[in-house]
Amino acid sequence: MYDFEGERGAATGDRGGPHRALLLLEVPRFAVEYGASRLIDLALPDRDVGRGRPVLVLPGFSAHDAMTGRLRGHLEQRGWRVHGWGLGSNHGLTERIVAGLPERFAELADRYGQPVSVVGWSFGGLLARWLAHEHPERVRQVVCLGSPWRAEGERTRATALFERSRARHGIVENAREIVDQLREPLPVPVTAVWSRSDGIVPWRGCTVDERRDPPAENVEVVSSHVGMVANPIVLTVLVDRLRQDPADWRTFSWRGLLPLGLAS
């Protein structure tokens, strides 16, 4: 996240995110997570659980659609109509993204004539929250994957990247207002998927307040930050959540993922 408070984190002794050892393990962990999910998709038959419902997937900061391809392929195999954002690399709250994302979202909502589920990875989850505030009647639900939307998550291992991007690509004048808005309780169901072993962002900044209405829930997983878009555990949770009917919402349960004979 942008360091809107200047050097506040440095002044308070904030090291800027998770332990360095977790950061160094991000790439090797991602390789394992990606490979495992590919094997699962090859081994298990397709299941038409998505019923053709639309999903928009938003990449993390400095990422692009190619990096969410594993996640989108997993959902497509299971019957959802899944779309990338088509805006290139995510450079944050730039004029191009702040103007282009709502247009992309409106295009998909108009095409399908029904609310769209929005899945956001890392900073993409913050943008997903913003879309839900701006267009609550057209967003079916929001799923955030390792998204540090709280003020507690403002300084992460990527904060320096945000500041360099701001200098190079700029940000909109009302960037702080957008961040303040997306931090408000959402008017649609939201699921926050987070990991204590995240090597990029502090997990406490990713959790939601489950006491809020409409449904807001936390699902803890074991995953790297980069691997949130490929980890088989995360993808299992994502499929289960996207299957939910907002009018008949059922809280996530690991037990509920077991076959009926095992769960009884």
Structural domain count, the chain: 1
| 161 domain-assigned | yes
What whole-number distance in Å separates Cα of residue 29 and Cα of residue 91?
25
Token reading at 118: 């929005």
pLDDT average per 10 residues of sequence, the chain (264 residues)? 58 58 90 93 83 97 96 96 97 96 98 98 97 98 96 70 85 94 95 95 92 90 96 96 93 77 39
| 136 domain-assigned | yes
Whether the Cβ atoms of residue 26 and residue 18 lie closer than 8 Å to each other: no
Token reading at 43: 């081994």
Q: Going along 44-138, which residue ranges are E strands?
A: 54-58, 81-83, 116-121
Q: Is 144 helix (H, G, I), strand (E, B) or coil?
A: strand
Q: Is 153 helix (H, G, I), strand (E, B) or coil?
A: helix
What's the CATH number where 188 sits? Answer: 3.40.50.1820
Q: Which residues contact 129 (CB under 8 A, 6 or more apart)?
A: 120, 142, 144, 147, 149, 182, 183, 186, 190
| 1 domain-assigned | no
| Alpha-carbon torsion angle 245, 251, 252, 253, nearest 10 | -130
Is the Cα torsion angle 234, 239, 240, 246 positive or negative in sign? positive
| 46 domain-assigned | yes
Q: What is the pLDDT of residue 153?
A: 55
| 2 domain-assigned | no
Report the largest interatomic distance among the alpha carbons of the chain, rounded to a whole angstrom.
Answer: 57
pTM above 0.85, yes or no: yes
| 192 domain-assigned | yes
Q: What is the pLDDT of residue 144?
A: 98
Q: What is the pLDDT of residue 165?
A: 87
- Residue 208's domain spans which residues? 8-263
Q: What is the pLDDT of residue 264?
A: 35
| 20 domain-assigned | yes
Token reading at 124: 């993409």
| 3 domain-assigned | no
